[in-house]
Amino acid sequence: MKKKNYILGIESSCDDTSASVICNNKILSNITANQEVHAKYGGVVPELASRAHQQNIVPVVQQALEVANISKNDLDAIAFTRGPGLMGSLLVGTSFAKSLALGLGIPLIDVNHMKAHILAHFIENDTKIPPFPFICLTISGGHTQLIKITDHFEMEILGETIDDAVGEAFDKSAKILGLPYPGGPLIDKYAKEGNPKAFKFTQPKVGGLEFSFSGLKTQILYFIQKQTKENPNFIKENLNDICASIQYTIIEILMTKLKNAVKQTGIKHIAIAGGVSANSEIRKRLELAEKHWGWTTYIPDFEYTTDNAGMIAIAGYLKYLQSDFSDVSISATARLKVTE
Ligand code: KG4
Ligand code: ZN
């Protein structure tokens, strides 16, 4: 029988404090404390995030162990997010992981948050596991990247955003509409009742497999300013249609680039990762792509799309199998490429 390895994963790169216990490639627990404190500021306030992580980390880890029904002495290794992310936030998880690994006398494993979003696809559950090579579109609040994956830790960037990330495009558009942070899920919700063709926004002209979203944000801002000048109730009266039109434009940009990536590489195994892959429209469009273009698409469970420690735990387990451990002198880093 295969040996059972228990790894604790810790994620604290942005505004979610999360801990997860994995047994080989099966998740036993995945506990996340979201930070409500940022909503009224329209974005994550780094100092407040760091403080909230300090308050949350012990109870979150304790609950992850309880739900997994194991004691900390059963753990074989501790995996943590080293970067990229907010320095003050990363430091909380990094220091905690180091002390716990040192105290228990078990290996410490550093994980690249961007790789982890992709490796979440290797968690064993009801979803399909992609075969190599596959393409992953990572779409989150901080990143928009097309990656070719040839092995668990062999990744190549095919294209990425030259300005804002797609999550930012959702969140900033939502802010213009007066919606709280994070606005992505709200745009998704209102879009369900709206007409995606009601308002037309132009697509950015950026070549190759690169993305650009800052022009769209400005376009939306000017559009809303103009309309509300003529009718102060414009947003209220048209919220569903505005959201549906914004969402349609953003998803159209993503699908166009995905199509180009398939053409360029000949790879038809397509995965998505990151917070924005929770979006219902991209999920629908990928289902259609399976039917119409013969792609096989891989969409992670909702719980493993936004920032979570389950993805850190699976990345940790895959590194554990290679005895790829970190020295306790390792430090957190705000910047880290998916290929590093
Ligand atoms: O991966 P994630 O949790 O954090 C980062 O590493 O950035 O992604 C968060 C982003 C936010 O911008 C949020 O608005 C967006 O994911 N998001 C969505 C949806 N759910 C989360 N965007 C569009 N539709 C959604 N359903
Ligand atoms: Zn993330």
Task: Check if the beta carbon of residue 8 is closer than 8 Å to that of residue 74.
Answer: no
N- to C-terminal Cα separation, the chain: 34
Q: For a ligand 1 pocket test, name from 86, 118, 189, 306 the mutation site with the most ligand atoms within 8 angstroms of its C-beta.
A: 306
- Count the Cβ atoms, other than its own, within 10 Å of residue 332: 25
The whole-number pLDDT of residue 1 equals: 67
Closest alpha carbon to 50 in 89, 16, 1: 89
Residue closest by Cα to atom 1 of ligand 1: 275
Q: Model confidence over 95-114: pLDDT tens digits?
A: 999 999 999 999 999 999 99
The predicted model scores a pTM of: 0.93
Across 15-19, average pLDDT: 92
Location of structure tokens 């979003």: 117
225 burial level (CB within 10 Å; 0-12, 13-18, 19+): exposed
Q: What is the pLDDT of residues 284-321, one digit of tens each?
A: 999 999 999 999 999 999 899 989 999 999 999 999 99
Residue pair 79/9 in contact by the 8 Å Cβ criterion: yes
What percentage of residues in the chain have a pLDDT greater than 90? Answer: 89
Mutate to test the pocket of ligand 1, among 160, 170, 305 (most ligand atoms within 8 A of CB): 170
How many CA within 13 A on the CB side of residue 302? 4
Please state the rounded mean pLDDT for residues 170-190.
Answer: 95
In degrees to the nearest 10, what's the CA dihedral of 251, 252, 253, 256? 120
Going from the Cα of 292 to the center of ligand 1, the distance in angstroms, rounded, reads 27
Residues 6+ apart with CB under 8 A from 47: 88
pLDDT at residue 115 tops 70: yes
Q: Are 149 and 132 in contact (CB under 8 A)?
A: yes
